[in-house]
C-alpha cells in the first residue's frame, strides 16, 4: 500500500504533514495525474468545517493552477457531493475533498475523485509515484488565488436525494445529529421539505465547534439516544463530520450500527452480490445473498463492486455504496433508502431491524507503534485458536461457527484495533477485552 494513503485518502497532522508545501505539491501531483489520463476540464474542490481546511484547500488549489487547471470552490459540503458533481456535470474532470473525516480535529486529509468515482488503489500508487518525482521541486509561495466560488455540487446532490425519496412519507418525528459536520447544510432542511418533523443537534459549521466522532461506537450517539427517548421520536439519524457515513437510533433509543442498516438495504436491494469489508458483522451472511469480503477501506469496496458487478456495498461505519448513484460512500442516499424501506414495510425501525438475526459486535482500539503491527499479528496467530482463520486484512479467527475475533492495525493512525462478535453480548465483550489485553501486553513489553 502507498505510504501516502491510508484506508481512504491521504490523512495526517494538519500542521506538520499537510503543510503548505506538501499540499501545493499534491495539487500539482493531481494535475499531472489528470493530464496523464487525458482529462481536460475543470476541477471542483470542497472541504469540511475544520479550522485547517481553508488553508489546505488554498495551497492544494495553487498546485493545480500551477499546472494549468482551473479550480472551482464548492465550499463546505458533504463528501459524496464532490463525487456526484463529476457524474452530472461533465465539464468537471476531477474533484477533491479536504477532510479528515472522523479523525481528531487537529488532523486533516484529502480525498480524490476522477473517472466519475473515488480513486482506486492503483490510482493511489500512480499519485504516489508522481509525488515522489516532483515534491519540493517548486517552492510554495503565497500569492493571489483565482478561485471561483459556486454551489453546483451541493445543489445537484440535494436534487438527487429529493428524487430518490419515495414520498409522501408518514408524519415521522426524527432527531438529526450532524455532529457539526457537512450534512448540516443538507439533511435537516431536506427531511423537513419531505414532510418530517425534525429536531436537530450539532449543526454549527464554525471550526471551533467541529466534532471528531467515530460512527462505529455507541458513544457517538449517546446524546442522540437520550433525545430520541425524551422526545418520543420515531428514530434518530447521526452523521460523521464529512457526511459520507450515517448510523441510526431506533424508537426505543437502541443504537443501530452500520452493519445492520447496511444489511437492511442489502436485503431489499436488487444486488445479487453484496460487498463489505472483513470487519463487518456476520448478519450480512444471513440474508441469502452472495457476500464478498474485502480489506477495510472504501477504495477496496469500490474496486470489488466493479469486478463483481455488485450494485450495493457497505462498511460497518455506516458508509453505503449505491452503484446506480455513484461509486463512493454516501450517508445521504443511505438515509433516504432506509426511509423508503420504513415506508414500504410499514414497520418501525426497531421492528425492521428485529427481522434480522441478532449478533453483538465489540470494537475497541489502542495506540500502537506501527513497527509492532506484524509482531502482534504473528503472536495472536500463535495464542488464539479457532476453527478457521482469514487473513484478508489483519487476522480474523473464527472461534466457532458464530464467534470470531479480528486483530487489525489501522492504516490511518498509529493504532491497533480489535473486533469481536458473538450471539451473546457478554461473550463478544469478553473475547474482545481478552484480545485488546493481549495486544496491550505486547505493546508494553
Mean pLDDT of all residues in 58-65: 96
Please tell me the predicted confidence (pLDDT) of residue 24.
98
Q: Which secondary-structure segment (H or E) carries 200?
A: strand 197-201
> When comparing pLDDT for 243 and 410, which is higher?
243
Cβ contact 435:420 at 8 Å: yes
- The answer as to CATH 3.40.1180.10 being correct for domain 10-153 is no
Q: 324-359, pLDDT tens digit by residue?
A: 999 999 999 999 999 999 999 999 999 999 999 999
Cβ contact 334:261 at 8 Å: yes
| CATH match for 360-443 among 3.30.413.10, 3.40.980.10, 3.30.310.50, 3.30.750.24 | 3.30.310.50
Cβ contact 387:339 at 8 Å: no
Please tell me the predicted confidence (pLDDT) of residue 139.
96
Please tell me the predicted confidence (pLDDT) of residue 227.
98
Please tell me the least confidently modeled range out of 63-67, 167-171, 213-217: 213-217
What residues contact 309, with CB distance under 8 A and at least 6 apart? Answer: 273
Query: d(Cα 2, Cα 129) in Å, to the nearest integer?
Result: 9
Query: d(Cα 78, Cα 239) in Å, to the nearest integer?
Result: 10
Share of the chain above pLDDT 90, in %: 91
Cβ contact 253:226 at 8 Å: yes
Mean pLDDT of all residues in 299-320: 96
Start-end ranges of CATH 3.40.120.10 in the chain?
A: 10-153, 165-353
Cα 329–chain centre separation: 6
Mean pLDDT of all residues in 132-141: 96
What residues contact 239, with CB distance under 8 A and at least 6 apart? Answer: 176, 177, 178, 179, 181, 182, 183, 187, 215, 245, 246, 331
Kindly indicate the confidence band of residue 220, based on its pLDDT and cuts at 50, 70 and 90.
confident
Q: What residue spans of 89-186 are helical by DSSP H?
A: 121-134, 152-164
CATH topology of domain 165-353: Alpha-D-Glucose-1,6-Bisphosphate; Chain A, domain 3 (3.40.120)
Mean pLDDT of all residues in 227-244: 97
For helices 121-134 and 298-308, the axis angle rounded to 10 degrees is 130
Burial (CB count <10 Å: 0-12, 13-18, 19+), residue 47: buried
- Choose among 371, 392, 382, 390: nearest CA to 438: 382
Model's pTM, two decimal places? 0.94
Please tell me the predicted confidence (pLDDT) of residue 65.
95
Cell numbers 500539482: residue: 28
For residue 417 the three cell numbers come to 484495533
Please tell me the predicted confidence (pLDDT) of residue 272.
96
Kindly indicate the confidence band of residue 1, based on its pLDDT and cuts at 50, 70 and 90.
very low
Amino acid at each position: 500500500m502507498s505510504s501516502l494513503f491510508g484506508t481512504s485518502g491521504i490523512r495526517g497532522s494538519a500542521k506538520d504533514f499537510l503543510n503548505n508545501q506538501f499540499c501545493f505539491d499534491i495539487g500539482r501531483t493531481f494535475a499531472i495525474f489528470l493530464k496523464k489520463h487525458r482529462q481536460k476540464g475543470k476541477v471542483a474542490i470542497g472541504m469540511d468545517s475544520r479550522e485547517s481546511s481553508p488553508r489546505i484547500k488554498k495551497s492544494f488549489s495553487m498546485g493545480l493552477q500551477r499546472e494549468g487547471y482551473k479550480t472551482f470552490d464548492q465550499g463546505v459540503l458533504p463528501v459524496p457531493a464532490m463525487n456526484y458533481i463529476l457524474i452530472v456535470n461533465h465539464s468537471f474532470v476531477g474533484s477533491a475533498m479536504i477532510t479528515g473525516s472522523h479523525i481528531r480535529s487537529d488532523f486533516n486529509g484529502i480525498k480524490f475523485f476522477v473517472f466519475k468515482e473515488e480513486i482506486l488503489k492503483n490510482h493511489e500508487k500512480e499519485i504516489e509515484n508522481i509525488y515522489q518525482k516532483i515534491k519540493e521541486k517548486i517552492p510554495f509561495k503565497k500569492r493571489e488565488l483565482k478561485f471561483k466560488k459556486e454551489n453546483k455540487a451541493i445543489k445537484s446532490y440535494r436534487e438527487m436525494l429529493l428524487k430518490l425519496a419515495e414520498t409522501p412519507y408518514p408524519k415521522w418525528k426524527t432527531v438529526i445529529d450532524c455532529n457539526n459536520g457537512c450534512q448540516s447544510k443538507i439533511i435537516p432542511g431536506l427531511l423537513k421539505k419531505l414532510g418530517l418533523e425534525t429536531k436537530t443537534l450539532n449543526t454549527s459549521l464554525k471550526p471551533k465547534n467541529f466534532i471528531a466522532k467515530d460512527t462505529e461506537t455507541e458513544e457517538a450517539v449517546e446524546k442522540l439516544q437520550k433525545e430520541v427517548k425524551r422526545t418520543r421520536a420515531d428514530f434518530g439519524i447521526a452523521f460523521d463530520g464529512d457526511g459520507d457515513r450515517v448510523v441510526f437510533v431506533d424508537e426505543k433509543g437502541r443504537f443501530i450500527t452500520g452493519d445492520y442498516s447496511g444489511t437492511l438495504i442489502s436485503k431489499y436491494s436488487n444486488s445479487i452480490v453484496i460487498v463489505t469489508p472483513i470487519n463487518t458483522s456476520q448478519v450480512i451472511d444471513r440474508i441469502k445473498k452472495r457476500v464478498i469480503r474485502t480489506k477495510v477501506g472504501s477504495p477496496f469496496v469500490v474496486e470489488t463492486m466493479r469486478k463483481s458487478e455488485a450494485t450495493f456495498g457497505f462498511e460497518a461505519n455506516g458508509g453505503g455504496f449505491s452503484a446506480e448513484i455513484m461509486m463512493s460512500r454516501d450517508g445521504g442516499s443511505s438515509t433516504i433508502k432506509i426511509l423508503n424501506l420504513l415506508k414500504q414495510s410499514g414497520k418501525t425501525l426497531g421492528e425492521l431491524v428485529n427481522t434480522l438475526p441478532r449478533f453483538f459486535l465489540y470494537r475497541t482500539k489502542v495506540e500502537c507503534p506501527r513497527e509492532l503491527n506484524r509482531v502482534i499479528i504473528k503472536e495472536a496467530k500463535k495464542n488464539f485458536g479457532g476453527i478457521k482463520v482469514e487473513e484478508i486484512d489483519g487476522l480474523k479467527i473464527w472461534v466457532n461457527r458464530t464467534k470470531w475475533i479480528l486483530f487489525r492495525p489501522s492504516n490511518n493512525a498509529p493504532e491497533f484495533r480489535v473486533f469481536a462478535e458473538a450471539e451473546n453480548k457478554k461473550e463478544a465483550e469478553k473475547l474482545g477485552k481478552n484480545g485488546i489485553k493481549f495486544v496491550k501486553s505486547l505493546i508494553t513489553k
